[in-house]
Amino acid sequence: MKTRSKRTVFGIAGLASAFALVILVAQAQTGPAQSVPAGRKMAEEAYKNIQVFKGVPADQVIPAMQFISASLGVDCEHCHVERAFDKDDKKPKQTARKMIQMMFAINKDNFNGHREVTCYSCHHGATDPVGTPLIADEEPKPEPRGAMNAGGTNPLVMPTADQLLERFVQALGGADALQKISSRVEKGTLTGFGGRQFPVEVFAKAPDKRLSVMHLPNGDSITAYDGRVGWLGISGRPPREMSGGELDGARLDADFYLPVHVRHIFSQLRVERPEKVGDEETYLLLGENPGEPPVRLYLSRQSGLLVRLVRYVETPLGRNPIQIDYADYRDAEGVKVPFRWTLARPGGRFTIQVDQIQQNVPIDDAKFAKPPEPPAPALKFTSP
């Protein structure tokens, strides 16, 4: 394929992460050695022809390739031979290895090994970095000196993290009302991938089970978390278990009482400078745990509701952002529920619009469980 001027759609976390593109991209290479839990496979154990990424967990290969794709605005085939990703036939693949080694060296020699410089630092979505400063189209606007209140005159008095979370819970209907709901089934339409539309169903059950089904022409695409295991399913293929940052994201998405649990999920919560999400003024609440990427919660200054959540998948090359925008909140049996959300990552996005919702309906736990892999076909022998 030709290089795209914009970042490629690489399989989106959540529903679209189940597409085959995400699974097929893995035969590549991955960064410097890291400490890894016992029993976790290394890239060179799982994939062929690993060179610059030896000693990196195998579950970081796909996110690393996604990061390169988004940083350079290219498809898999820019560097790889289609359906033969381990081959070294293409020059861009050799160049990519050299660039990765250069990036590691810059960070080691100048930033004590901390990942300050990434592929995106120079490329910004293009295959060729721009070496000449650009001329501005208009007079640059001065940066504001500080956050202002609604009148724009006095510095804004920032609420505490606890105050923001309490207002969020109350805006949804209150903790008691939220915890009276134990399950939710939503049906609607997913729009994305060039404006195409597909029926979608989302099943959620307290405390931490969630399954999304996108009904495609050739079969269903499934993303699920059963309270312990996250898995992806595509019609005609064996299910694939999630791991690493992908699993962390699925666990967060599946928390049925997330607004009530935020205080306990993160070891540190702090309120950052207010930001705008579209036309909405928001407070930014940053949730952090040691050794993990932060999670950003954007809470409306007007309604108190969550309008955006940004989380990250860690890779050896940089962090892949995943952004979820929530809208169209409506009352459903005493609690506010977003009837529309848009999930986006570098190179692609999709929107789900809910048409029907049912709550407190029985859902069997077996619905969320990863199906067993089909048995290997029996060997047939013929007489000589």
What CATH code is carried by the domain that includes residue 117? 1.10.468.10
Specify the pLDDT at position 57.
86
Structural domain contains residue 370: no
Beta strands in the chain (DSSP E): 183-192, 196-205, 209-216, 219-225, 230-234, 240-241, 268-277, 280-288, 295-300, 306-314, 319-332, 335-345, 348-359
State residue 76's pLDDT score: 86
Looking at residue 32, its pLDDT comes to 38
Q: Report if residue 270 sits inside a domain.
A: yes
Domain total for the chain? 2
Same domain, 273 and 183: yes
Is 367 part of any domain? no
The pLDDT of residue 375 is: 67
pLDDT of amino acid 93: 87
Pair 197, 344 in one domain: yes
Inter-residue contact 210 to 368 (CB < 8 Å): yes
Neighbours of 85 (CB within 10 A): 21
Do 169 and 61 have their domain in common?
no
* Residue 326 domain flag: yes
**Is 327 inside any structural domain?**
yes
Can you read off the two tokens belonging to residue 203? 């099943």
30, 98: one domain: yes
Alpha-carbon torsion 147, 150, 152, 154, what sign?
negative
Q: Are residues 96 and 202 in the same domain?
A: no
Task: Judge if 118 and 214 occupy the same domain.
Answer: no
CATH number for the domain harbouring residue 233: 2.50.20.10
- Among residues 41, 19, 18, 16, the alpha carbon closest in space to that of 30 is found at 41
* Residues 239 and 353 placed together within one structural domain of the fold: yes
Residues of the chain with pLDDT under 70: 1-39, 140-156, 374-384
- For residues 176 and 237, state if they share a domain: yes
Residue 77 lies in a domain: yes
> 141 phi and psi, to 5 degrees?
-90, 140
**Do 82 and 177 reside in the same domain of the chain?**
no
- What is the residue range of 62's domain? 16-123
Residue 152 lies in a domain: no
Question: What would the pLDDT profile of 164-201 be if each residue is shown by its tens digit?
Answer: 999 999 999 999 999 999 999 999 999 998 889 999 99
310-328 in b/e burial notation, b at 16+ Cβ within 10 A?
A: bbbbbbbbbbbebbbbbbe
Per-residue model confidence as pLDDT tens digits over 1-27: 334 433 333 333 333 333 333 333 333
Classified as helix, coil or strand, 92 is helix
155 domain residue, yes or no: no
Query: Would you state the pLDDT for residue 190?
Result: 95
Whether 165 and 118 share a structural domain: no
Whether 174 and 321 map to the same domain: the answer is: yes
Integer CA distances (angstroms), 349 to 86, 144, 379, in order: 29, 31, 44
Residue 284 token pair: 């930014």
- For position 81, what pLDDT does the model report? 86
Q: Which of 206, 189, 210, 207 is nearest to 198 (CA)?
A: 189
Residues 110 and 165 in one domain: no
